[in-house]
Amino acid sequence: MSDENVPVLVVGAGPVGLSAALFLGRHGIRATVVEKRSATSRLPRAPGLQARTMELFRAAGIGKEIRALEIGDSHRFFEGGILRVNTYSEIDDAVVLEAPSLDGPEISPERVMGCGQDRYEVVLTEKAVEAGATVEFGQRLVAVEQDDEGVTATLEDIGTGALRTIRARYLVGADGASSTVRGLLGVDRTGLGTVFNALSIYFRAPELERILADRPFILCYATVGGTMTGLSRLHGCDPWLAAPVYHPDRGETPADFTDERCVAIVREAAGKADMQVEVMDKVPWEGAQLVAERFRVGRVFLAGDAAHVHPPAGGFGANTGIHDAHNLAWKLAAVMRGWAGDDLLDSYHAERHAVGSAMAEQAMVRNRIRHGYADDAIRAQMVDDIIITLGYRYRSGVVVADDAPPVLTAPLTLAGEPGTRAPHVWLSTVAGRQSTIDLFWSEFVLLTTTEDTGWAEAAGRAARAARVPLRVVRIGPGGDHTDPDGNFTKAYGISVRGAVLVRPDAFVSWRSPEGADDPDRVLADVLGAVSGNGPVAAVSSS
């Protein structure tokens, strides 16, 4: 007998685990989150939130709360790109290493923002609990066993040493790069391993703001003295974050970085020997590239750094993990509510492993460029950030598509193709303007026009037969929404007689540019495939 029974157990209360609990709760599934730390993060890590991540928070109903954490207009710092200088005092002579494209009003209703993990984890915890989750700190996972019916986890209370067991239908391992869950499952990882070592120095230096002359940037690398020191700008300047690289192969260790040495490093990088510097904290870390061979093992799933870890170049880490959580949450909810088959859960690995691997490769390309190890061939492999963050493609057994282009396909194409994020188009409603992105959360949505001659009615019959939640949205005069700019059909690649099926996570499952002779049969087959249930008998329209 287990001490407790819960629907889903999430191990790890970082951005990924908390997001998973929030998303599950918004789908009506209660999650219990356990974390070995004593509280949420106190350090401003992972400070860049991508436009797609903000879309997910928007869909989950907390977009305004997260946006409220932004200090001023952080967007201008993203527009400054990635810089390299000799010292920060020579900021006027900075070389632009990268000028990434990150968002745009024609692509998304949201835009990137800067905010440290120490602030948004607090909101994620609060909102996850409001959505029905339980979050427990000071709990260490020590064992995992699973069978055909569920997972049994053994936890140790770090304060008392007491052990207890929790029985869950499913377990999500979101416990970081050194994941206990992954280790207990025996899942191997492939990749380059550790590619560099760095030390995050959190410090206060009021004069640095004047030295930088309000120059906007995401990161600025100082190369004075042969040591590369990156300075982050996104989360603000109280404290600042600088990260010098160190070399264990030369005998260097984190213990060598006394407060006095850290002050000297910051002063040297700033180019001002007498600058007042107060060290607040120091955290050593590894820049590594490793991807787990499996993201699903039975009833256990890996997400975030537990599944894929890569250098921070590009800021893909926490964002990619939050996207993992979003992909997994609606699928777990669908299966637990009884309207989807196990093949839908298999698609989590198929879709997110490919994306995680691609992210890791792109992070390494950027890492080589920034550290001066890239030749023309390496630079040619770099894909624009907006493709990586908003334009990645899914291919799995639950996406009905005729072809299989690369996960990252340049140039950015969001044109209603199956496997891509549904295009953003502004629509009009009685309540005002609404993005198509706001239409998707808890059910499949069939988009068609008011000139459709068969899809809408057939969708209702097919959904009832398949017992899959499906909402039809007709766009046009007299429909559910109007298209004031006339962009809908072009954006989604259909005629006025076509239809597009979009998943709860806003990714296109299937598309028919035109009408069909037997829409009932077509949609019966499609709904069976995209829900992981297999073929469903069509219902006659007569």
The set of catalytic residues is: 221
Structure tokens belonging to residue 44: 């401003």
**Chain-centre distance for alpha carbon 65:** 18
Q: How far, in Å, are 99, 173, 204, 226, 444 from residue 85 at the CA level?
A: 15, 40, 21, 12, 50
How far is it, in rounded angstroms, from Cα 313 to Cα 303? 19
Structure tokens belonging to residue 121: 């984890």
Residue in 405, 426, 422 with CA at minimum distance from that of residue 414: 422
Residue in 452, 181, 402 with CA at minimum distance from that of residue 294: 181
How far is it, in rounded angstroms, from Cα 54 to Cα 213? 30
Residue in 254, 351, 244 with CA at minimum distance from that of residue 308: 351
Q: Is-contact 330 503, C-beta < 8 A?
A: yes
**Chain-centre distance for alpha carbon 405:** 21
DSSP string over 12-51: --SHHHHHHHHHHHHTT--EEEEESSSSS--S--S-EE-H
How far is it, in rounded angstroms, from Cα 243 to Cα 231? 7
